[in-house]
Structures are given as structure tokens and as C-alpha cells.
Amino acid sequence: MPDLLDQLNEAQTQLTTDEPNYISSLRAKYYPVSISSRAFTSAEKEWLASNTSLKVGYLNDYLPYSDTNEDGSVNGIYQSNAVKFTNERGNISLKVSEEEIKTEEN
């Protein structure tokens, strides 16, 4: 239905023109209710208080999820999520490191 698609595209263009921060306002409205921003349970708070580091495993040669670069650093979706977790954990003193998970294949 090309005519409906044209109308939707026009409406989207008009929305962007009328409210340039629309996407940002939606993100601000709905992102805080995601799992990453929920309050820690008492067990999680206890674990965080008694630990200073977190080692997260990843699979090598498993793109787009994870792989190891030539310099030994991690890349893929895993890496971007690990960085996001590290940056968004707030005032928690937790050092996050990565370790390749060895499987029978590697």
C-alpha cells in the first residue's frame, strides 16, 4: 500500500520537524524502567559490598556476539554491552574484566 507508506513517511517527517527531541524524550521516559536500572535486591547489595571485581566470560570467534581482536581485546555485541554495564553501574566499585571461555572447539 504505497499511499499508506507515503502518509506514514510524511507523518514521521512532520513529527521530527514539530518535535525534534521526540526520540530522546521516549528514551528518557521508557529506558529507566529497563532491567539495567532497577534497584538491587538485598542479596545483590550484599554481594556487591563483599566483592571488588567481576569476571565475565565470552566465547571467541562467535561473531557478532564476541571475538578477540589481534591485540587481545574483546569485540562484538558482548564488548559493547560490557562497556555499557561498566559505565551505567553508578557508584558501585566493581572492576569488570573479560576472560575467554575455553570450549572443546578452541
- At residue 91 the predicted structure's pLDDT band, cuts being 50, 70 and 90, is low
The hierarchical CATH code for the domain 40-106 is: 3.40.190.10
**22, 16 contact by CB (below 8 A):** yes
Q: Report the distance separating Cα 17 and Cα 11, nearest Å.
A: 10
Q: What is the DSSP letter of 66?
A: B
Task: Give pLDDT, residue 33.
Answer: 54
User: Could you give phi then psi for residue 54, rounded to 5 degrees?
Assistant: -135, 120
Q: Tell me: the pLDDT tens digits for 2-59?
A: 889 999 999 989 988 898 888 888 877 777 655 555 667 788 878 888 888 878 888 8
pLDDT given at position 6: 92
Which among 91, 101, 6 has a CA at the least distance from the CA of 61? 101
Domain coordinates in residue numbering, the chain? 1-33, 40-106
User: What secondary structure letter does DSSP report for 102?
Assistant: P
User: Does residue 72 register a pLDDT over 70?
Assistant: yes
Q: How far apart are CA 56 and CA 76, in angstroms?
A: 14
